[in-house]
Amino acid sequence: MPESPTLVQRVVRHQLMWPVLALVALLVVNVVATPTFFNIRMQDGHLYGNLVDIVRNSAPVMLVALGMTLVIATRGIDLSVGAIAAIAAAVACTRIVGAADEGAATTAIMACTYALVVCLLLGAWNGFLVSVLGIQPIIATLILMVAGRGISMAITDGQITTVNNSWFSDLASGFVLTLPLAFLVAVGVFLLTALLTRRTALGMLIEAVGINPEASRLAGVRSRTIIWTVYAFAGLCAGIAGLVIAANTNSVNANSLGLWIELDAILAVVIGGTSLAGGRFSLTGTFIGALFIATLARTIPNIGIPSELNYLFKAVVVIAVCLLQSPKARAVFRSRRGGPTVPTGPAAPVPAKAGSVA
Amino acid sequence: MSAITFPTSSTWDRVKGYTPPTRFLPVIATLALFVGLFGAGGVRYDGLADPQVLLSLLIDNAFLIVLAVGMTFVILTGGIDLSVGSVVALSTMIAAKTLQMGWSPYLSIAAVLATGTLLGLLMGLLIHYFDIQPFIATLAGLFLARGLTYLISVESISISDETFTQLAFKTVYFGEYYLRWTAIVALITVAIAAYVLARTRFGRTVYAIGGSESSAMLMGLRVAFTKVGVYVISGFCASLAGLLFSLYILSGNSLHAVGMELDAIAAVVIGGTLLTGGRGYVVGSLLGVLVLGIIKTLISFDGTLSSYWIRIITGVLLLAFVVVQRFATRRQS
């Protein structure tokens, strides 16, 4: 008994409590609407089911959001990721279509590598504008957001390019070890990022730049290089996401591919508890945030609402999350309810739920 | 030296030595760009140098002009409004749906304008009183307006109301040249906005907030009222632009105006308004829209260039203006 309150308090105060709680709540809604929602069956050596679909569909947003997390941690933002995703898909698809052997594995690999190098360069271009020229991130990346879809259409010549390469489509619909390959790719990038930022000093340096670029520069941190790197990384992540989206439909439509994915990614980052003011980031939070968005997209048709109304729910989530994070709003609610002890009260049954998922 | 030459300067010397105030330079640059593009196009393509082409630019971009006017207010305070494209779509949808339900067209127009203004008010309140970044609050507005549009109807609804179609084609003739009513509404909006920004207390407070919000607060200016006010104006302008757009296109569709907020922001920036706030003119935004419009016209006159070049050229112009702004402000500070 004596240690249980501290455990409860630790769980309640943990920064991931709210995102996990929100995700659990969504899953509960789904189970209530469709009791068989959690059913997973084995077929042809793959897992099938709603949960598998959710993790598969979460891959693009998760990838984009990973890059976005680091950018936001440096107090920046990258609006161009959707356009970069469209460019990546356009480059890869036109390379595959133009190759001598359209169906070969090497064609797919070469095309994807080529596309990712382009994205890395585009990300570095954003980084150049932000770190060297000192343009506000939102404006610097707006330029590529405006021009990017035009560039993507110029690459595909304004056509919807369809590709015929089983290796490429495996990127979205393939399974490895019974799990969707797209999700494994996203998890792989996630683990690599976590390793690089949390097991080395890089994460701390990124946060230092986000807290105060000038002070960190004076303290000997190469803030310019770090800013440059995070934008290039965001470009790379967006590129991988673009490839996954294109592989899912085996085609690229420069106008609609990755449309508003930057907003979804920012939403995932914000849900995960990373502050838009920079200086602090949570990769696990972003991971859960991306899962939340994919689950939301699944929930809405599941409970019988047209899937286009997705946007309405996202708006509610954005406002709710921002109000939860806003110190002013907290102060208002606290003074209404009379006392800061409120959050611990109703949260007692929470750890059991949260624990069962984690 | 100057003490000797100054009294003896002739009129010609004064004209030669005249330099416009630096604050007007960005707008003059945009004007020069527009004149240059129009001139080059007039030399290159037959029929482009016709004055009617200029008037058609105003007609075809009336909604974007109104949108850019609202956006100018927001950007002058250092904010941004991402929701305007969705509000345009919502406005076309509300207009189409209410007319389909048999509402009077005037009631329908009032409903559209009220909805946009209310959305702007909500975003302004969130931004000012809860300290939510403009970018994220208007992002919520973007999702909300687009979601509401889908809620009303997923299908496209056409507008066949007589008053609306009459309004849409109402024309004013100047000799052999003509202008639609929508363009005149847009120009009136520009005139009112220019007056408000230059001559009223509200306008001066907008510039003051863009310069430094805390200083404006310490000076005792009405920061809260003004900051919420600019989003209300932007919401109103977005719904007015939505009305003009529904007159232009005569249908309501949830896929209308995707990405139009980017065009509006680009027009404002190309018009010389500083994205960090505090400097810029509505007339500049009007010229910015016209520059974007003339590029579109040039591409359609050329015929060999595909329409996606518009976006690439817009991006390049945006880049040029942002970089020049950056160096100009760096030198001053």
CATH number where B132 lies? 1.10.3470
Interface test with A, best of B119, B132, B307 (most A CBs within 10 A): B132
- pLDDT tens-place string over residues A307-331: 778 888 888 888 888 888 777 777 8
Task: Tell me the residue type at B81.
Answer: D
Average pLDDT, integer, range B29-49: 88
Residue with more model confidence, A347 or B268: B268
Q: How far apart are the first and last CA of chain A?
A: 23
What's the gap in Å between the CA of B331 and the closest CA on chain A?
Answer: 13
Instruction: Kindly state the DSSP code that residue A130 receives in the 8-state scheme.
Output: I
- Partners of residue B148 in chain A, C-beta under 8 Å: 312
Q: What is the pLDDT of residue A154?
A: 92
- Angstrom distance (rounded) from CA A273 to CA A287: 11
Comparing CB atoms, the residue among B141, B306, B330 nearest residue A158 is B306
Are A309 and B276 inside 8 Å of each other by CB?
no
Are A309 and B150 inside 8 Å of each other by CB?
yes
- Angstrom distance (rounded) from CA A109 to CA A137: 32
- Angstrom distance (rounded) from CA A104 to CA A165: 7
Structural domain includes residue B14: no
Interface test with B, best of A136, A142, A260, A317 (most B CBs within 10 A): A142
Task: For chain B, say whether A132 makes contact (Cβ under 8 Å).
Answer: no
∠ CA A157-A162-A166, rounded to 5°: 140
Closest residue on chain A to B263 (Cα): A146
B231 and B79 Cβ atoms separated by less than 8 Å:
yes
Q: How far apart are the first and last CA of chain B?
A: 29
- Angstrom distance (rounded) from CA B134 to CA A280: 20
Chain A window 238-267: which residues touch B at a Cβ cutoff of 8 Å? 254, 259, 263, 266-267
What residue has token string 């439509």?
Answer: A253
Q: Which of A342-351, B36-45, B115-124, B192-201 has the lowest mean pLDDT?
A: A342-351
How many Cβ atoms from other residues are within 10 Å of residue A12's Cβ?
A: 18
For residue A336, how many C-alpha atoms fall within 13 Å in the half-sphere facing its CB? 6
What residue has token string 């702004």?
Answer: B325
Q: CA A65 from chain center: how many Å?
A: 2
Instruction: Kindly state the DSSP code that residue A343 receives in the 8-state scheme.
Output: G
Closest residue on chain B to A155 (Cα): B308
Q: What is the pLDDT of residue B42?
A: 87
Q: What is the ipTM of this complex?
A: 0.84
Which pairing describes strands A161-162 and A251-252: parallel, antiparallel, or unpaired?
antiparallel
B106 and B124 Cβ atoms separated by less than 8 Å:
no
Interface test with B, best of A311, A313, A325, A333 (most B CBs within 10 A): A311
Structural domain includes residue B1: no
Give the residues of chain A that fall short of pLDDT 50: 1, 339-358
Comparing CB atoms, the residue among B126, B258, B266 nearest residue A146 is B266
Give the domain range for residue B227: 22-332
Q: What is the pLDDT of residue A141?
A: 92
Q: How far is CA B37 from CA A58, A263, B25, B196, in A?
A: 46, 35, 18, 30
Structural domain includes residue B222: yes
Contacts of A129 (CB under 8 A, 6+ apart): A135, A140, A141, A143
∠ CA A47-A51-A55, rounded to 5°: 90
- Partners of residue A151 in chain B, C-beta under 8 Å: 312
- pLDDT tens-place string over residues A263-274: 899 999 988 888
Are A312 and B130 inside 8 Å of each other by CB?
no
Q: Which of A337-351, B121-135, B207-221 has the lowest mean pLDDT?
A: A337-351
Q: What is the pLDDT of residue A356?
A: 36
CB pairs under 8 A between A and B: 125
Q: What is the pLDDT of residue A350?
A: 36
Interface test with A, best of B131, B139, B149 (most A CBs within 10 A): B139
How many Cβ atoms from other residues are within 10 Å of residue B301's Cβ?
A: 16
B158 and B103 Cβ atoms separated by less than 8 Å:
no
Structural domain includes residue B15: no
Strands (E), A108-236: 161-162, 175-176, 179-180
Q: Which of A145-159, B6-20, B124-138, B139-153 has the lowest mean pLDDT?
A: B6-20
For residue B129, how many C-alpha atoms fall within 13 Å in the half-sphere facing its CB? 12
- pLDDT tens-place string over residues A13-72: 677 888 888 889 888 888 888 888 787 777 777 777 888 888 888 999 999 999 999 999
What's the gap in Å between the CA of B65 and the closest CA on chain A?
Answer: 18
Are B136 and A138 inside 8 Å of each other by CB?
no
Task: For chain B, say whether A278 makes contact (Cβ under 8 Å).
Answer: no
Q: Is the pLDDT of residue B18 over 60?
A: yes
Give residue A209's region: left, alpha or beta (phi > 0; psi -120 to 50).
alpha
Q: What is the pLDDT of residue B266?
A: 92
Task: For chain B, say whether A184 makes contact (Cβ under 8 Å).
Answer: no
Q: Is the pLDDT of residue B2 over 50?
A: no
- pLDDT tens-place string over residues B153-164: 888 898 888 888
State how many domains chain B has.
Answer: 1
Closest residue on chain B to A157 (Cα): B306
What's the gap in Å between the CA of B238 and the closest CA on chain A?
Answer: 19
Comparing CB atoms, the residue among B131, B135, B147 nearest residue A309 is B147
